Structure 1
């Protein structure tokens, strides 16, 4: 009888969890003050969303009675109101680190997920932490969480003797929904108890399924509201003071405007006029010895916010817009470059994006960059001339993404760069698909891309991939293949390194879905990848790796992995010459990582690695070590030291031909046997006065050098032989310093004052100074060390708030 009752209870629980919960809200005319007290009488008449269920780590288990959570929802003509009561048996232990916006810190969290179309495609998520900080993002299953999206809304969190309370007001202008009289929204609530690392949701989120946004509950009862005019203006003014040893100190005043306009209930126009990106994060430059360019992160808000549609097909590398010029000056033997800009100025940019109720997503991005010239001087006459290195250029992206059955999509993507005059133009067109079974258990994804380059010689190429995978349960697997022709080129608006190959790959994984005696989470993964040169069939790349990741019951993250290249491979890129290759020997290596619980005031990240090649004396090893300390809820410092060494690394350094052109001898490709050593130090910290005012510091010192031991020549068979006829110094040393100290104040909703002091320097040399202390001193005393002090004021204007004044 007891077992029968238990079976009955479990069955009811499963049925309850698998069905979507429904909450009914009610209209109010009373004013609600967002003070975290919920003392307005109208709150008591609202329906309660309770019976939260564990999301992680013990998926499906009811929330403990000691953590009982109740949420109420009200609405009026302008906004939706959320009131949450979260019990805690020990309120004094609620973690509440104060952080800047969109940084949860070491704090308890409450969140609300809203989908105004209830189509399972996109959630607008709003979070409040126990220190009264805000975070918000747009979430899709295909692209995850985009925290660069920011909305303007109100919230207040208060710690009580029973737990903590959150009160929120989210205006309709921060949401997307249709104009129907009766609204049905997708809705979920989220709570994390940080000290336990337990996460709960109101509507059950089954971790066995490969979807998140489709497991919301339902909000009913909103009637007769109209989507507001979504017109937001963000005027700004910035003042910069620049100084270094080579130039006089000078000041620059800038001003501009960002505009956001809701074209209708689905589509939004974003526009920047006279952009200013002077306070964006600095780039982490490295010593790049390889054949490919360094890829940088995008830190400009316009190109990071709400760009999930534009990531379809992986064709957009937005750093191309306003990046380095596409050509270099043509010089005579008696000419030198006096000045050449490192980047091209952006004149303006706009994007239109959104998705209809029928699931059609439309994205249009357009940007214009200005004509850019380099100054060239004749060394004999002293005369100067200007040469265009980048003409007026237009960058355009079009995406049409049709979703169906709430979990699948087919997308058409086109990227185009048109440069004025005789300069190169580039166009890429793609079809991409992401198909899931109704129960989200299997996935078939892939794409087909076609590129056309209009230059001195037209170039056409294709790239295609197809992948099948199981996406649910403890055991999962996947397999796929890809092919790329030699002339495929998407580098005008995208980024691509390798071409002219085909590959096959597969993976298998295992994970626990509920905690065990030792682990909250545990997963293993095996990956196999082999790439072949398309014409010759030679193996360009091969890799087998096995990895284990775990989260212990004490919330320490521990993992390790083994990786190998079991076969020799033929590298067609390192020689920097067509149809030439260098043979890379077999390799085996491993790594370990340990990340102790960040809930503790003191925590450490440690990550050593080692690999050995099937070649005498050739090996790589290194480690990263990152201690962090939270002095109190306001002040935190984190340091990270990285060391990496490559012994007897073989790499390209030069190419030269015989001086007599009548002798038909292939060019000599010169390699070096070298030791490459890299050091990197970073320090980051914050001191928060409150959730609106924060001081931040970010320091980075980087030094890497390649010390050539002996010179080698590359033979036609891909082997390397000693070469004694080369005496040019091709050692490399690159070091850089970056320091940012900033203060930010959100002085009004959506409005911010930022004060930044920045200094930075970098140098590339052939002479290697191996004294670390002297290296740092020389860098900081470098006459190229520049100093920038800037103040930026941005003010948010909502048309709905100011229209009555006019």
Structure 2
């Protein structure tokens, strides 16, 4: 008997279906012709005719508890041909105690909040969420199950006012900021949210039962919307920026101009494009001294690649820093008379993405980017002759995602990433099938993926085909939760052209058990303990690469202080196949354990502090690691916040690769020390105008005490013939002082002064002052820039003409 895939999928759909969730509240709205002024006063007579949404229920920490009468919350909704209007009266018997720290947009800070969640298709798939703090700061997000994307920004209006009985909010949300159908009569999904920060309590209008894993379907309904039409969603955001850069090489002036375009293709899908991109004011990277075999992973700070990209992260195949990142080829001098100049990055020419989700739950995402041809130079120091070498050709990066959600809490997705490089450079293609299936009560879950990679090499190298697969099944709801899973990655699997993969050629299995309280008790608001074990084997030799038993504790006390601890035990001698930098060679890793404690005091207080001590002890004599992080913060006022972080760690008798000597692989026993100091200051003049300062000094050194030779059995023996200086002394400095002003809806002026420096050498001097001097003498780079972005709505232009 042949069983076809559609039959299997249908059977799984029945097994992992959903009967429904808790009862939905219904709110009636009405159409208006009167003008409503968004001033936070609710003084228009028409508001009195609107139905009131009230009787909020606690979401966290005491899930299901009704809100107390002195904190009653009343919400009304009206609409016209252009927008939906929301008014909320949030009662509070102690208005002076309402927390209202002023922050930048999308930063919740220490403040009370009100939010409205809107689903124009009422399908439980995606919410548009709009929040306002008691200080008047806006936050907005695109939300799917388990994810809130606050990089998404809409254009809407809001005002708040503090009263003698609490605080009041008015919101106007244009239809251009929402998604809904063309139907004459519509029912939207809606919920209202309130956070009382001083009590660390969150409430919703329609109850959200945390015992049910899927939260988004637990939303109320808004009825009464008729005869509205989705507007044309076409926005232009031209920008111009000016940079002055000064360093020991001189002064350089740069002017840039370009445009972002956002276009609503239909009710569900949006096209985003950047023409001549400019990312010169993005946050600096926290570079570290990296002595390991793997590259350092950096956060994505470029707005285009962070906004609305949730669908593109399916399957974990996309690491957007590859786009416009380090060139494929690194030039090395072939003799002592050559010096090379390698470009640090590749310029991005343009990028486009299309994303959205149909009323049937099908999410589609397409991302395409093109980077320019990049050359490096080789110079002969004897003759002065130079030669240009292509280190990265014209390249196209493409991602396609189809994500089908069904029964409101399950999904199956297909993902494909492709990198095509011009000429005789390698191309790469990776595909994945990703599934996440949940039972009708959302208590049990089956999830996993199957990935396939194909690398097209040029020249004599063979093309590579590899697979990567994982599966997990477990219980999600209730006090006790558990899951078991495994994974397999072949030797040939490689997703690094557009993704990030550190290791392959292994298989592993894990189990996970956890217990948590679902409602507060006398001591804790939340409490969770977790026991996890993971064993990983090298495919070809069967040797253990990892063997861990992990214990984690996380809790929040009744005073809202967070206390956590972890203990990671590695009871087996394991084998590292990557530190040697030679395929098939490995080094033995001794048994060890790591312990950590985490304390974070309540941020509601003016002074709060995070403290994290950590220690790692190994079976090898004197090989020990210990570290400490201390991060105090002080809120001088609702406008001014200061945060400082100090990190120090020391590694005695650390073991690592340093070089090759003929056929020998040279390791070293070394002492490592790292110090990091970070300071950030925020001063908000008002909700739309903010000054920020961010400074970071990082210093790390590794001093080799003894060289060792890696033997074929993974052991290390003393080496007395290798005498090169392979010490590392690395320092970086970053300083950003910025001013941001949202002078009009969606329009911003930003001014940035930045200086930075990097120093890397083999001489070890453990005097902090001397390293500071070396760092700033090396090459302090100064940049001043100003950027202006202006938001243009096609509908506004059309109405004027």
TM-score bin (small chain): over 0.9
| Matching residue of 2:90 | 86
| 1:215 aligned counterpart, secondary structure | coil
1:171 correspondence with 2:166: no
Once the two structures are superposed, the pairs formed by residues 282-301 of structure 1 within 5 Å of their partners are: 282-301=284-303
- Residues 574-594 of structure 1 show CA distances to partners (whole Å, capped at 9, x for unaligned) of 001111100101111211111
Secondary structure at 2:525's aligned position in 1?
A: strand
Q: What displacement does 1:43 show?
A: 0.5
> Partner of 1:317 in structure 2?
319
Q: How much has 1:251 moved relative to structure 2?
A: 1.1
Asked if 1:112 corresponds to 2:103, the answer is no
Query: Shift of residue 709 of structure 1?
Result: 0.7
Decide which of 142, 157, 170 is 1:138's aligned counterpart: 142
Distance 2:151 2:48 in 1: 36
| Distance in 1 separating the partners of 2:737 and 2:773 | 20
Secondary structure class of the residue paired with 1:368: strand
TM-score of the two chains, using structure 2 as the length reference = 0.96
Rounded Cα–Cα distance in structure 2 between residues aligned with 1:264 and 1:603: 48
Q: What residue number does 1:121 align with? A: 125
CA distance in 1, matches of 2:166, 2:288: 48
Maintained 8 Å contact 1:522/1:551: yes
Distance in 2 between residues matched to 1:333 and 1:728, nearest whole Å: 19
- Which residue of structure 1 lines up, in the alignment, with residue 211 of structure 2? 208
Could you say which residue in structure 2 is the equivalent of 1:662? none
Of the candidates 641, 663, 668, which is equivalent to residue 636 of structure 1? 641
Q: CA deviation at 1:529?
A: 0.7
Among 772, 780, 788, the residue aligned to 2:783 = 788
Q: Deviations over 1:400-443 (max 9, x none)?
A: 11111111111111100000000010100111111111211111
Who is 2:547 aligned against? 542
Distance 1:471 1:183 in 2: 34
SS of match in other structure, 1:313: helix
Q: 1:402 pairs with 394, 401, 404, which one?
A: 404
In the alignment, the residues of structure 1 paired with residue 339 and residue 200 of structure 2 have an alpha-carbon distance, to the nearest angstrom, of: 58
Residue number in structure 2 paired with 1:25: 29
Aligned twin of 2:562: 557
* Contact 2:260–2:272 under 8 Å retained in 1: yes
Note the alpha carbon deviations across 1:191-221, whole angstroms, 9 max, x for none.
0000110110001011112222111111111
- Quote the residue 1:186 is aligned against: 189
Equivalence map 1:228-239=2 (5 Å)? 228-239=231-242
Give secondary structure in 1 for the equivalent of 2:312. helix
Give, in angstroms, the shift of residue 778 of structure 1.
2.5
Shift of 1:296: 0.4
User: What corresponds to 2:158 in structure 1?
Assistant: 155
Matched residue, 2:758: 762
Instruction: Provide the C-alpha distance between the structure 1 equivalents of 2:668 and 2:481, rounded to a whole number of angstroms.
Output: 44
Alpha carbons 1:556, 1:597 under 8 Å: kept: yes
Q: Secondary structure at the match of 1:616?
A: coil
What pairs up with 1:427-442 in 2 under 5 angstroms? Answer: 427-442=429-444
Q: Give the alignment partner of residue 55 of structure 2, picking from 46, 51, 58.
A: 51
The residue that corresponds to 2:224 in the other structure is 221
Equivalences, count: 779
Aligned with 1:213: secondary structure?
A: coil
Maintained 8 Å contact 1:503/1:529: yes
User: Runs of at least 4 residues of structure 1 off by over 6 A?
Assistant: none
Report the CA distance between 1:34 and its aligned residue: 0.2
Displacement, 1:330? 6.0
- Which of 672, 689, 694 is residue 698 of structure 1 equivalent to? 694
Cα distance in 2 between the residues matched to 1:549 and 1:332? 54
Contact 2:339–2:381 (8 Å) recurs in 1: no
Partner of 2:372: 370
Distance 2:253 2:473 in 1: 57
CA RMSD across the alignment: 1.1
The Cα of 1:329 is off from its aligned counterpart by 2.6
Unmatched tracts of structure 1, length 5 or more: 1-15, 658-666
| Match of residue 743 from structure 1 | 739
The answer to whether the 8 Å contact 1:286/1:702 transfers is yes
Pairing partner for 1:356 from 346, 355, 358 = 358
Distance 1:327 1:747 in 2: 44
**Alignment deviations for residues 80-110 of structure 1 (CA, whole Å, 9 cap, x no partner):** 0000000000001101111110011110000
Are positions 1:594 and 2:596 aligned together? Answer: no
Give, in whole Å, the separation in 2 of the partners of 1:319 and 1:483. 26
What is the alpha-carbon distance in structure 2 between the residues aligned to residue 201 and residue 726 of structure 1? 67
User: 1:699-738, aligned counterparts within 5 Å?
Assistant: 699-738=695-734
Alignment of 1:522 onto 2:522: no
Q: CA deviation at 1:556?
A: 0.5
Q: Output the CA distance in 2 between the equivalents of 1:567 and 1:340.
A: 43
Offset of residue 305 of structure 1: 0.5
Deviation at 1:184, TM superposition (A): 1.3
Contact 2:612-2:629 at 8 Å conserved across structures: yes
8 Å Cα contact 1:17-1:203 kept in structure 2? no
Distance across 2 between alignment mates of 1:785 and 1:567 = 47
Contact 1:244/1:786 (<8 A) preserved: yes
- What are the Cα deviations for residues 636-659 of structure 1, in whole angstroms up to 9, with x where unaligned? 1000000111111110001122xx
Q: 2:470 matched to which residue of 1?
A: 465
Which moved further from structure 2: 210-219 or 503-512?
210-219
Q: Which sections of structure 2, spanning at least 5 residues, go unmatched?
A: 1-19
1:51–1:62 Cα contact (<8 Å) kept: yes
Contact 1:334 1:380 in 2 (8 A): no
Q: Distance in 2 between matches of 1:653 and 1:258?
A: 46
Q: Is the 8 A contact 2:21 2:217 kept in 1?
A: no
CA distance in 1, matches of 2:479, 2:333: 62
* Secondary structure in 2 matching 1:780: helix
Match of 2:615 among 610, 614, 627: 610
Alignment of 1:65-104 (within 5 A): 65-104=69-108
SS at match of 2:176: helix
Among residues 29, 34, 38, which one is paired with 1:34 in the alignment?
Answer: 38
Measure the CA separation in 2 of the matches of 1:81 and 1:337: 65
Query: Following the alignment from structure 1 to structure 2, what is the Cα–Cα distance between the partners of residues 744 and 369?
Result: 30
Moved more, 455-464 or 483-492: 455-464
Q: Give me the whole-angstrom Cα distance separating, in 1, the residues matched to 2:681 and 2:382.
A: 53
Residue 617 (structure 2) pairs with residue 622 (structure 1): no
Q: Residues 534 and 442 of structure 1: is their aligned pair in 2 closer, same or farther, counting only changes over 3 Å?
A: same
Whole-angstrom CA distance in 1 between matches of 2:227 and 2:420: 47
SS in 1 for 2:321: helix
- TM normalised by structure 1 equals 0.96
Query: CA–CA distance in 2 between the matches of 1:175 and 1:577?
Result: 54
